[in-house]
Amino acid sequence: MSRDHIQSADSVETPFLELLARGASLDAYEQPVLRARADGMPPERVAALEHAQRLALRVRSEMEGRRRREAELSALFETAHDLAGLQDLDAVLRAIVQRARSLLGTDVAYLSLNDPDEGDTYMRVTEGSVAARFQQLRLGMGEGLGGLVAQTARPYVTDDYFKDDRFQHTRTIDAGVRDEGLVAILGVPLMLGPHVIGVLFAADRRERVFDREQIALLGSFAALAAAAIDTANLLTETRSALADLERANEIIRDRSGVIERASEIHDRLAELVLRGGGVHDVAAAVSQVLGGTVEFAEEGAAPGPALETSRAEGHAVRHGDDWIAAVTGGGELLGALVLRGHPGLDPVDQRTLERAAMVTSLLLLARRSASEAEQRVRGELLDDLLDARDRDPRLLRERATRLDADLDATHVVLAARLDGPAADADAEAAARRRLWSAATHLAVTRHGLASARDGGTVLLLPLDGDDTATELARRTAGHLGAAVHEAVTVGASAPVEDLATHPDTVATAYAEGLRCLEALRLLGRTGDGAAAQDFGFLGLLLAGDRDILGFVERTIGEVIAYDERRGTDLLRTLDAYFACGMSPVRTKDALHVHVNTVAQRLERVGRLLGEDWQRPERVLEVQLALRLRRLSSPAQR
């Protein structure tokens, strides 16, 4: 070959070598040929350039292919590396989908997995997706392009999804694909042995033809994804097996401790019963042994459904994070032992809680028997006082002292009745028993006496300090009502004293309390408490001794005392004032004094009796007191 020919070939290839060196675009390879034609170069020169152009494009294609294969191999290597150090399955699957999308240059890539329990398939990972409905798709098996891939266990590609009728379209799938705007879709199966467990997709929002190399590349990523899933499943199974072994070891280690705890609580409960411990002692002992908080709850304070279940089954039952063990005796529900915040209760510890509930029921029944015996003794003493059977003051005082009561103190007799409607005779009898029990408990705490009588309850309670019969009656009504969860009305007598020497005083005071109770009920004041003195002049009708002088003293005693000290005529002025129809003008004529004098005397009366003395109800009481004073004193007639 001549030197000129070689130089000519070199000059032809030079521009294309430069284009290859800088990685120019395809369009740039047309420029040398176009310029040669434009410059009018000889045909053989143009032909040589075209030949060089073809060679350069072939080299460029080969270089791009190698770069692409290097990138693909690098991505596959990185994915395999991720799989080897698998810690988070989701992270590995996201990396696979991201790399597949990047290398195939698609708008979207996504991976779906089959759900054998639900019998469908669901989106596990998406990359490049923007539509929420598409990301949340759940598809029936055999539906859509993925269904076809799963059925055939082979890759499937469509250039235009909505024009392709070779697979089953559904409204749900089509809506999701339309929301995402997908057109061309490639799907390859995820295989574990002969089974398809899901599909890896690459998709574009425009028509596109996927070549064999791209299909093969996506298949390689699918194989890695399947391997990642299989590895994760094996790791999960291994970890689960290890956890099971660890739990078994813990159970073996703990079993001896549980047995020791059961033995310890058995000994402690036996000791509590022998030394007469209470229910709270039992709860404290079980709390220490079980390492939690155990409380005794009354019937109404424990969760109803769980309590009834425990009662019916005879076992402790779980309620949220707590355990409930019913405390029963003779078929009666007495309450419950509640273990707080201990959801993972060992069966042996559960039995321990149940045994503690049985011990608690024995203690409660024993305490009830003792309490009922004391209640009967207290009731018998009060019954003897009411019926005046025992008139020996020494014996009465001794009996009261044994019950921690003092008959020489000032007392009030209170009559209490239930006012709630009863569903039937049994319900009424049960309500009366509750009232008697609550009244007896109150009497014990207040150093008094109580007894069931006349369909209700009578109490004899000491009056402390500045307390009044009215205040005591109202407190008693509130206390008993709260205890039995029904309205309780209480009528009280006036204070009585020296009961050991004059026991018949109790019967008289009880009759007065009953009359006050009936007055409250007639006035519609059920659930309240009051004494005879609260009814003004009506108290004369309710009081057993008709304390007329006491009523006069309480009503106008201040005016009487003022007249006696000062020698004034306030009482005579009041008599004239009422006789004259409460007219100051006519009153001054009747008394032959100036009207200002009448006004001054009435102002003084107001200061003595209170500013409200001329209210209608007070006026009636003042007039009655004036009349009773005149009638009871011959000097005043």
CATH number of the structural domain spanning residue 292: 3.30.450.40
Of 538, 557, 578, at which residue does a domain stop? 538
DSSP letter at 118? T
Q: How far apart are CA 538 and CA 434, in angstroms?
A: 32
219, 107: one domain: yes
Write out the two tokens for 250: 């813990």
Residue 378: closest CA among 467, 442, 434, 430: 442
Place of tokens 């290859």: 20
247 domain residue, yes or no: no
How would residue 1 be classed by pLDDT, with cut points 50, 70 and 90? Answer: very low
Say what percent of the chain tops pLDDT 70. Answer: 80
Q: How far apart are CA 563 and CA 565, in angstroms?
A: 6
**DSSP of 591-615, one letter per residue?**
HTS-HHHHHHHHHHHHHHH-TTTTS
119: pLDDT strictly greater than 70? yes
pLDDT of residue 401: 81
Instruction: Tell me the three state secondary structure of residue 153.
Output: coil
Write out the two tokens for 298: 């009354």
pLDDT of residue 318: 81
**DSSP of 155-209, one letter per residue?**
-EEESSGGG--SS---HHHHHHHHHHT--EEEEEEEEETTEEEEEEEEEESS---
Alpha carbon separation from 358 to 275, 337, 347, 504, 613 (Å, rounded): 17, 10, 17, 47, 65
Give the strand order in the sheet containing 456-462: 449-453, 456-462, 411-418, 488-492, 529-531
626: pLDDT strictly greater than 60? yes
Residue 118: closest CA among 139, 88, 99: 139
C-beta atoms surrounding 133 within 10 Å: 13
**DSSP of 210-231, one letter per residue?**
--HHHHHHHHHHHHHHHHHHHH
pLDDT of residue 155: 92
379: pLDDT strictly greater than 70? no
401, 491: one domain: yes
43, 92: one domain: no
Phi-psi region of 2 (alpha: psi -120 to 50; beta: other; left: phi over 0): beta
Instruction: Tell me the three state secondary structure of residue 480.
Output: helix
Give the strand order in the sheet containing 120-127: 138-140, 120-127, 108-115, 195-204, 184-192, 156-158
Q: How far apart are CA 292 and CA 417, in angstroms?
A: 43
C-beta atoms surrounding 199 within 10 Å: 27
Question: Does an H or E element contain 563, and which?
Answer: helix 548-566
79 domain residue, yes or no: no
579 domain residue, yes or no: yes
Residue 307 amino acid letter: L
77 domain residue, yes or no: no
160, 117: one domain: yes
**Please, are residues 148 and 140 in contact by the beta-carbon 8 Å criterion?**
no
Q: How far apart are CA 449 and CA 384, in angstroms?
A: 11
Q: How far apart are CA 265 and CA 262, in angstroms?
A: 5
Domain total for the chain?
5
Between 242 and 607, the more confident residue is: 607
pLDDT of residue 472: 92
Give, in degrees to the nearest 5, the angle at Cα 241 between 236 and 242.
Answer: 100
Q: How far apart are CA 204 and CA 186, in angstroms?
A: 9
Gyration radius of the chain's alpha carbons: 52
127: pLDDT strictly greater than 90? yes
**DSSP of 242-282, one letter per residue?**
HHHHHHHHHHHHHHHHHHHHHHHHHHHHHHHHHTT--HHHH
Q: How far apart are CA 278 and CA 637, in angstroms?
A: 69
Q: How far apart are CA 54 and CA 548, in angstroms?
A: 139
| Overall size of the chain counted in residues | 637
How would residue 11 be classed by pLDDT, with cut points 50, 70 and 90? Answer: low
Place of tokens 């006789």: 579
78 domain residue, yes or no: no
178: pLDDT strictly greater than 90? yes
Of 211, 238, 265, at which residue does a domain stop? 238
Average pLDDT over residues 261-284: 65
pLDDT of residue 4: 44
Q: How far apart are CA 183 and CA 157, in angstroms?
A: 11
Residue 516: closest CA among 496, 537, 541: 541
533, 567: one domain: no
112, 30: one domain: no
In terms of residue numbers, what domain contains 26? 16-65
**Please, are residues 322 and 338 in contact by the beta-carbon 8 Å criterion?**
yes
**Please, are residues 458 and 382 in contact by the beta-carbon 8 Å criterion?**
yes
Place of tokens 């994760």: 232
399, 527: one domain: yes
How would residue 157 be classed by pLDDT, with cut points 50, 70 and 90? Answer: very high
**DSSP of 371-389, one letter per residue?**
HHHHHHHHHHHHHHHHHT-
93 domain residue, yes or no: yes
19: Cβ contacts below 8 Å, ≥ 6 apart: 28, 29, 56, 60
Write out the two tokens for 365: 């029944």
262: pLDDT strictly greater than 70? no
Average pLDDT over residues 122-139: 90
Tell me the backbone φ, ψ of residue 294, rounded to 5 degrees.
Answer: -110, 130
How would residue 2 be classed by pLDDT, with cut points 50, 70 and 90? Answer: very low
426, 460: one domain: yes
378: pLDDT strictly greater than 60? no
pLDDT of residue 364: 64
**What is the CB-side half-sphere exposure of residue 636 using CA atoms within 13 A?**
13
Q: How far apart are CA 577 and CA 562, in angstroms?
A: 18
Alpha carbon separation from 84 to 42, 79, 231 (Å, rounded): 63, 9, 9
pLDDT of residue 292: 75
Average pLDDT over residues 135-139: 88
Residue 128 amino acid letter: G
Between 81 and 39, the more confident residue is: 39
113, 159: one domain: yes
520: pLDDT strictly greater than 90? no
pLDDT of residue 128: 93
pLDDT of residue 271: 62
Of 336, 369, 402, at which residue does a domain stop? 369
Residue 626 amino acid letter: L
How would residue 52 be classed by pLDDT, with cut points 50, 70 and 90? Answer: confident
| pLDDT tens profile 456-504 | 899 989 988 788 888 999 999 998 888 888 889 998 988 888 887 877 7
At 474, which CATH number? 3.30.70.270
pLDDT of residue 537: 55
How would residue 59 be classed by pLDDT, with cut points 50, 70 and 90? Answer: confident
How would residue 251 be classed by pLDDT, with cut points 50, 70 and 90? Answer: low
Mean pLDDT of the chain: 79
| pLDDT tens profile 81-98 | 565 555 677 887 888 888
Buried b vs exposed e over 381-412: b needs ≥16 C-beta within 10 Å?
A: bbebbbeeeeeebeebbebbeebebbbebebb
351, 286: one domain: yes
527, 604: one domain: no
119 domain residue, yes or no: yes
405: pLDDT strictly greater than 60? yes
pTM of the model: 0.38
446, 466: one domain: yes
Q: How far apart are CA 154 and CA 167, in angstroms?
A: 14
According to DSSP, the residues that pair with 470 across neighbouring strands are: none
| pLDDT tens profile 408-454 | 889 999 999 988 776 677 777 888 888 888 888 888 888 888 888 88
76 domain residue, yes or no: no
190: pLDDT strictly greater than 50? yes
Residue 637 exposed, middle or buried by CB count within 10 Å (0-12, 13-18, 19+): exposed
